[in-house]
Amino acid sequence: MKRILILLLTVFFVSSANAAPIDITYNDGIYHIILSGDKIRKRISFVVSDGLMSNREAHKRARSEFTINAGFFDPDNEKTISYIVTDRNTAADPMFNENIYSNPILRRNLDKILNRTEFRVVECDNKYRYEIVSHKSGVDFGCNIITSAQGGPLVYPQLKLEEEFFVVKDENGDVVRESASVLHKTARTIIGIKDGDAHILIITEKNPMDMYEVQKLCKKLGLDRAMAFDGGSSTSMNYKDKIEVVSSEDGGRLLKSFMIIPKK
């Protein structure tokens, strides 16, 4: 397990009294970011790299104010395992990842993989809102997905490990396959919704968690719904180049997709 390097360990807090749309607190190895208000919903975008790049590089290229890692990818062929929508168009589609089809286990469970949970920014009648739903879930009439990123599993209120093919059990109920270290303690990137605002948890290796522990944390925080993005050494964040979480001193693991909030 690679060490998560936290370049800024002091508690950073943007006062809600100033109605700042990005509020960040740090406590016991966990960053809790709240994206509040209507205006910031229109600024969020999920983007995809042609190849792979670090969070630091994506943050710089996008001239972003805030950047985190997003969906899963195949490091062998640098292709996505998660659907990504950018500016209303599909920017990354796992159906074009031949490695999924060449693996007989993945191929047999393709429906579960393709229908993993995603985070959406949806526009309805010129108003924006967040949704956390399975990929194949439709949108309300008159609504459009502006941007989205698939990850998984759904963490709260239900933890869908088997339904999204992160855990496979045999006839005796014993785990025979595990993906994304969901049953082990590791760093995590979690995104949730509460009262219409987006809540992001960057759980560093100073306080690693398995998905059951993450579920308890989401319940404690009173989130309405929550899901995971890629985690472990992929867990990364950059805020205004003042707060950075990466997996190594050289800038972190190379990744495929990111959530960005461009500078105004």
- Residue 48 has φ and ψ, to the nearest 5°, of -125, 140
Q: Return phi, psi of residue 69, to 5°.
A: -75, 155
The arithmetic mean of pLDDT across residues 227-248, rounded, is: 95
Q: How confident is the model at residue 3 (pLDDT cuts 50, 70, 90)?
A: very low
The per-residue pLDDT for 4 is 44
Dihedral of the alpha carbons of 160, 205, 20, 64, in degrees to the nearest 10: -90
Report the distance separating Cα 98 and Cα 7, nearest Å: 38
Q: Please list the residues that pair with 150 across neighbouring strands.
A: 118
pLDDT at 20 (0 to 100): 63
Q: Measured between alpha carbons, how far is 45 from 259 in angstroms, rounded to an integer?
A: 6
Alpha helices in the chain (DSSP H): 38-41, 55-61, 98-102, 104-108, 110-114, 211-220
- Residues 78, 189, 101, 170: is their CA dihedral positive or negative? positive
Q: What is the pLDDT of residue 10?
A: 38
**Average pLDDT of the chain to the nearest whole number:** 93
pLDDT classification of 247: cutoffs 50, 70, 90: confident
Are 44 and 261 within 8 A, CB to CB?
yes
Condensed to tens digits (0 to 9), the pLDDT of residues 180-233 reads 999 999 999 999 999 999 999 999 999 999 999 999 999 999 999 999 999 999
